Structure 1
């Protein structure tokens, strides 16, 4: 079970009331609601519900079983054609020939069945082949010959219409006198399965498969990518021409499927078959929320828009409107829909930005003194001013540093690389792994795989040979939350327990790596602690509602996990074994700065990095949510009030996590924004998120033979994480 940390004590009832007001802000709810993708078509969804409700209330027996079946049977074909149009629009194109393809394939099905007397299964295959072939022609012209989709499909529409009129006139008398009968053919046109018309059931299957295809398959992602930007998709290695070709073929297939069911239902081909359906389909998909610019939309939106158009046309017919008036009304609706689509797409993001940041009240106790020369264990000094420099100008943002058994030094960089320094003075630099993302916390497992928290990607591993494998990039979702927290947005730091379980922090579930500082402005409990179990290959959240959990360290005895809360300036302990298993407690209540990484020391204690130093002004600002909100909205970003992030400090803690001594660089010239440190064979290695170097200082009296790897894995039999052969997924041995 996950553990939710209790909120800090409050000084008054008024403070508690204010805390509740800020914690359960209506703007917070609205911002997360508007951020959901399914909120894009909320207006057409409400319109669809309103139309169904209106006709149900005004038309007698509108919701009866017989009428519902009849409406579904009439709707299915236009629904399929609308989905076909939707696929093409998502890919960044347009297909004005969908109505003509529908008419031609309807005619082809009738010819194959009534005139040529093919069996029904052959008729179905032949009809689909005709639709696919027409789509192939469109795809070749648009994808490979770079023809404009609008003009190309308009010409296809004209040619197909002319051909349809010529052929249908010839075959119409034969259809009228044909006496071919088939139970399968009749079932396609008028049968039901579990009370659902066959064509409507086929539409439902297409929608389900289409949803999986677009949202869960590589080919669907390629369609989205091409629709968003053909140039970017081509640079990403996507074969744009092939994607466009496949999309138009798919459009032809769906239109042919609609034509097959229509032929079986009507058993005739009138001159007006499919006429104006391209306009109806285009109106439907735009109404449903599929962007005319491409790259955005789902099959469900296309179907929803088709329902609206179908209900409107059905209503116009019931009102006795002439056909030309119906088309004029649809044109007006399309014009309004396009205007709304452009406005909504442009302003939805702005609306979210205005209300997304929601600061809450955070009251900290008075910070311990750091006055130089005072008796405080945190007293400022210059002990880092003479630190040795490693890799000066060769590394960008070494957030965490670690050494292996061969005394080689590793760090992640802003470029998404993991660098390795080796040699007597670490003069040799090499790119150990090109991981991407933002490598943050590092740890070695027993097999000497380097396990890494990667901001924006999850938790990954690198074998000693430099091969990258994924460990986990998601956890269990918290049901009831609008914000989908199953994806790992900002995995921060990690450590590995004796049984091989990986405990890691996710600093925030509301912000990404590039905007992590906004979480500090909010001060909310947006973070969590997570555990990955290699024995079951499962990931689960164990502690929720944490304020930027950061550095993680398994205690020397392996019974508990220590981690820091950056915004609360605290160190906490979560027991993973022993009589207190599952309990959470605060170990250090107040720190003078904002803690980052936390690692073991050779004497049984721990090392703690302070990335920034508290100030009275910032502590006061954290008690004033409205002030911070106005600051974000009214002041340029480079003038916001922040903690002192230009002072470097490392704190030495004893076995009980009590401060013993500190190492400072108060000028911030050598080591500003210290985020990590590792002890290794009598030296302390220092990294920082904004640094262009790694520091090293000699530790007087430290064990010259102690290493972090031996502390965790030396002379022990433990589980460990390793890549499974060929799968790239971690396992247990």
Structure 2
């Protein structure tokens, strides 16, 4: 049960989010994926600062190699991928179960391995050269409809935190899932040193984003269908407990930590104080930057670029904001 102080704090955060002045993020560039693929849902940079790397609708992971080259194929997640069948697939295709659909991405900068939350194949590891792919946690070890989604890697320990959005629905059932009230999601931890997977939090409502704190003491997980962020303590006197971190007037997707230890939350925000999302309400894409202490530091509007379509991720890297989308054919670079 939430105590009164937590409820008051959460309510205050909602009001602050609604009352804070939003800045409009200024578009610098669009990084276009090779046609006709879409859906750079998440972005990652390697230990040399190269990239971004993005997943795509046809199961491939692409690396951006600069404006003269653009995106080039880096890897793919499915061991049974057939280029003739898969190349050029759009999102929500039933064939993606075979071709793969990479969503959350994160590098282990110590080893160079890229970890991927694939919507159909579970947790996957890609070797530094992009050539060797290993399925670490997949449907064979869980439910056959396991829908892996968000991911983050602890930079110090290499431990991987990832979410299963649902064990009742797959990505192709996305529209049904959003209106279902499903709460079969979970937050998991994979330790590469032991090859062990642990469930940290269960009964979540479509958990999408996940991010570990800079010191590794806690991890945040966003529940898309419940408009909230939860914090799970990993170390210290509150270890193995969870608490409400933030309520939002919109649906949180990916969460990304910046170099200062703050968090960027991609939020599909609702216009109107305290009003829930519904087909009759207007929702707008925003990036919300918050501190570890739940203080809202910045709200960046992405409406000028994405309109009312959701931005799945907002990430700060080298002084710029990078945004991804499950539906767009490009990644975006902004000044926040």
User: The TM-score by the shorter chain falls in which range?
Assistant: 0.7 to 0.9
Which residue pairs with 1:494 in the alignment? 151
Tell me whether 1:386 sits opposite 2:32 in the alignment.
Answer: no
Which residue pairs with 1:602 in the alignment? 259
Which residue pairs with 1:418 in the alignment? 61
Which residue pairs with 2:220 in the alignment? 562
Contact 2:250 2:277 in 1 (8 A): no
Which runs of structure 2 are paired with 1:548-627 in the superposition (5 Å)?
548-588=206-246, 590-611=247-268, 613=270, 619=276
Which runs of structure 2 are paired with 1:654-665 in the superposition (5 Å)?
654-665=291-302
Structure 1 position 536, deviation (Å)? 2.8
Contact 1:552 1:564 in 2 (8 A): yes
In 2, Cα distance between the equivalents of 1:457 and 1:684?
29
User: TM-score normalised to the size of structure 2?
Assistant: 0.80
Residue among 470, 482, 487 paired with 2:135 = 470
Contact 1:684 1:696 in 2 (8 A): yes
Aligned residues: 305
Structure 1 position 678, deviation (Å)? 2.2
Name the stretch that deviates more: 505-514 or 671-680: 671-680
Structure 1 position 644, deviation (Å)? 4.5
Which runs of structure 2 are paired with 1:680-695 in the superposition (5 Å)?
680-695=317-332
Structure 1 position 618, deviation (Å)? 7.3
Tell me whether 1:675 sits opposite 2:333 in the alignment.
Answer: no
Structure 1 position 406, deviation (Å)? 3.9
Which runs of structure 2 are paired with 1:191-230 in the superposition (5 Å)?
none
In 2, Cα distance between the equivalents of 1:414 and 1:530?
24
Which residue pairs with 1:431 in the alignment? 73
User: TM-score normalised to the size of structure 1?
Assistant: 0.39
| Distance change (3 Å), C-alpha of 1:644 and 1:401 | farther
| Distance change (3 Å), C-alpha of 1:643 and 1:416 | farther
Higher relative contact order (CA 8 A, sep 6+): 2
In 2, Cα distance between the equivalents of 1:429 and 1:544?
37
Bigger proportion of residues as strand: 2
Secondary structure at the counterpart of residue 447 of structure 1: coil
Return 5+ residue gaps in structure 1 as ranges: 1-5, 10-363, 477-484, 622-640, 700-733
Secondary structure at the counterpart of residue 507 of structure 1: strand
| Distance change (3 Å), C-alpha of 1:452 and 1:678 | same
Larger radius of gyration: 1
Structure 1 position 617, deviation (Å)? 11
Contact 1:526 1:546 in 2 (8 A): yes
Bigger proportion of residues as helix: 1
Residue among 450, 456, 472 paired with 2:114 = 450
